[in-house]
Amino acid sequence: MEMSFRWYGHDDPVTLEHIQQIPGMTGIVSAIYDIPAGEVWPYDKIMELKQAIEHHGLKLNVIESVPVHEDIKMGLESKNKWIANYKETLRNLSKAGVKTVCYNFMPVFDWTRSELDAALPDGSHSLTYDDERIKDIDPLSGELTLPGWDLSYQTDDLRRIIDRYQSITEETLMNNLIYFLEEIIPVAEEEGILMAVHPDDPPWSIFGLPRVVTNKENVSYILRKVDSLNNGLTFCTGSFGSDPENDLPGIIEAAKGRIHFVHARNVKWFGKHSFQETSHLAGDGSLNLSAVLKKLHESGFAGPVRPDHGRMIWGEEGRPGYGLYDRALGAMYLNGVLDTLNNR
């Protein structure tokens, strides 16, 4: 597996100099963050990002994410314009030599948490999703913003978009996702790009909005309906694992050969729809990441894996969930497990 690290560009407090010093680190997961959702990513800007990363002896091995325009998710008449732009971005990424693209199909809001700095018993802090707190949040108030979100919809149009979603069922949203995939996967096949849909985080409806990349049944349906190697999955342990009813080894088996990217994160459940992120160590959270990595290894997965959200430890400040120290510890934990699996 290719050990990789999320980097938010030159404004990220975590620098490429930091990342290149983590033993075993070879890949960078990044994106272009100043282009509105739906617009074409210029080839020159992709190359600027790639060359900055390669200057530090690292490889831009995953783009996370190329945002999907809301008109596509809602199935509006304008969707084909935005899909055409998406195809052009894929062609430009391929031309630049970037061959794995992570994306999501979550309506309006990306990954969601209720608190950014909840304390853990050891004195560190991490991201938390408390279902009762989420119920009290008005999504139109502007108080809900998280690291990495595309904020281009946090405008006066937000109410109009949310209102429109009230008539969109999970079945309709799924059909819109399949339509999108039927359009872009032929281009991905031509360009040799592996598309890896990220599961909804958390994997259930929030704010009355439908979500469909949530469990083994839905993943199997998505992969079956557009049956191409280039239509695959980002297997995120923390997203799927936030729901105690999700069987992580079962999802790996269902998506065997179609998992193109892995996010490794641990969470501790404290209610049916509530959890707090912990260290990656099996035993600290409710998920056994070593067992998950063993299953991925047995399934033949050899692609990019990155330590996902980490705690904020040792007084570090910066982007919640994306500090350097705990994610570096997470990378070393993952490397230790993989070394054991590779040398049995």
Written as six digits, the tokens of 227 are: 């049956």
Active site residue 69: no
Residue 108 φ/ψ, nearest 5 degrees: 65, -60
Active site residue 273: no
Q: What is the C-alpha to C-alpha distance for residues 179 and 55, in angstroms, rounded to an integer?
A: 39
CB atoms within 10 A of CB 155: 11
Is 158 in contact with 200 (CB distance < 8 Å)?
Answer: no
Is 203 in contact with 102 (CB distance < 8 Å)?
Answer: no
Q: Which residues contact 94 (CB under 8 A, 6 or more apart)?
A: 191, 192, 193
Q: Which residues contact 267 (CB under 8 A, 6 or more apart)?
A: 238, 241, 242, 275, 276, 277, 278, 285, 286, 287
Catalytic residue among 69, 125, 260, 309, which?
309
Q: Hey, what's the torsion of the CAs at 178, 182, 184, 189, to 10 degrees?
A: 120
Can you tell me which residue has the tokens 């279902």? 131
Catalytic residue among 263, 273, 326, 333, which?
263
Active site residue 280: no
- 33: helix, strand or coil: coil
Catalytic residue among 69, 125, 198, 260, which?
198
Catalytic residue among 165, 322, 326, 333, which?
322
Per DSSP bridges, beta strands 231-236 and 259-264 are parallel
- 67: helix, strand or coil: coil
Catalytic residue among 150, 200, 243, 308, which?
308
Q: What is the C-alpha to C-alpha distance for residues 134 and 201, in angstroms, rounded to an integer?
A: 13
What secondary structure does DSSP assign to 270-335, as a single string? EETTEEEE--SSTTTSSS-HHHHHHHHHHTT--SEEEE-S--B-TT--SSTT--SHHHHHHHHHHH
Active site residue 34: no
Residue 86 φ/ψ, nearest 5 degrees: -60, -45
Is 304 in contact with 4 (CB distance < 8 Å)?
Answer: yes
Written as six digits, the tokens of 28 are: 């960078």
Active site residue 322: yes
Cβ-in-10-Å burial (0-12, 13-18, 19+) of 26 comes to middle
Active site residue 156: no
Catalytic residue among 236, 260, 280, 284, which?
236
Catalytically active residues are 198, 236, 263, 308-309, 322
